Structure 1
Amino acid sequence: MDFFERSSSWNYGAMKNFHRISEPVKRHVRQVYWTVAMALIVSAVGVYAHMLLNIGGLLTTFGFLGCSFALMNTSSSYAAQGKRWNWLMAAAFCEGASLGNFVGAVIEFDPSILVTAFVATVAVFASFSGAALLAKRREFMFLGGILASATSSMLTLHVLSSFFGGAALMFEVELYGGLLLVVGYVIFDTQLIIERAERGDMDHIKHALDLFVDFVGIFVRVLYILVSVHTRFHWT
């Protein structure tokens, strides 16, 4: 009974926190998630295009970076919305094509792993982004400094491992530690989007790019982990 009472209390408190978000910001958040969903669909098309035409590689990686840079440096005025939307979809397509080799290898190995990874990614992303939406404003903003420091530390360790060995161990650290980092960024970015929207920044395309990158980051790491676990289990 105590468990159910505490659960009801938390749910009620969470709903009150959600109601603190203004209606324009709620509409903005819905628009952001819809845009992320469209970018993921286009990214899946990019994966399929690579599997048909073998277009993914270094060129599409630079294509993603270039399109993202162009999006962020294009005016967010209403007149430029169409152009910025095209930049976002082009970036998503290039990102999908860049992942085509890895996704294709996983499909040949065991297609069920791909489905499991996508479902798990959706669950993780929705859970932590939803938690950030239901939390108090700015409650998780402190994560920004921690995540930046952790990212910098991982980059330093990666460089050191390339000189002093331990690449295999560093790969495991980057895989699992990187997953925790990206989950943290989902929480932080969601609250940052809300805070910016409350201050009048309704740039749903830029905000969608942030969450799209977070989603792909989770998906890639979950996919690697599932393949690794499946391989170890198979050989055992």
Structure 2
Amino acid sequence: MARTDRLLRLLQAMRVLAAPVTAARLAEETGVSLRSLYRDIDSLRAAGARIEGERGYGYRLLEDDALPPQTLTRLEVEALAIGMAEVRSMGDPALAEAAAAILAKVAATLSGEREQHLLHVISKVYRPDARYPPSEALDVIRRACWREDALAIRYEDEHGALTARTILPLAIVYSERRLIVLAWCRLREAFRMFRIDRIREVSPDGASFRPRRVALLRTYLAQLGA
């Protein structure tokens, strides 16, 4: 891991983990030795980050110059916390982790009063069960959308019949009850919505459709408008 990436990862660990965080815990989180960890903390301090603590006690990030100060109203803080809580309740582990990281980063840039509002919002999201069932295909589909890579899938229709398809994944759609991938289907030569819970197998096809994704999305939206 490049040193810059390691320092950013160390900053994020200090934002997220309950303070004070021991050097051993930070070293484990960033994958370095204790000696390297102490050097990285010294580097962050030299760059302007205010880090309280010392060896044998633990560390606390007081001011984070890596992020600019945020001026959010109390209602904006409330909306942010509710939105991230909803994301965490979806049942998508990758997005849940990202939502927690966003809150930690924003909290690090708020004033003391607004930070307390973020930590103690008056509105709560309660969802006893995840909205969407877990899916091993989701990460593969997400990466393919980002990279504009074609996917080979085996898809089960509502009658239980399996078909082999090659699709160009454009977007993941979070409907009220289901996860869907919007894609261009090469078998049908048309836009199709595939329920992710009905995708039985998925793998990269090895072909790229870059840079067609934006153009395909525009065509799809134009068809919807028509």
TM-score range (shorter-chain normalised) is: under 0.3
Q: Relative contact order, CA 8 A, sep 6+: which one is greater?
A: 1
Larger radius of gyration: 2
- Pick the structure with more strand per residue: 2
TM-score between the two structures when normalised by the length of structure 2: 0.24
TM-score between the two structures when normalised by the length of structure 1: 0.24
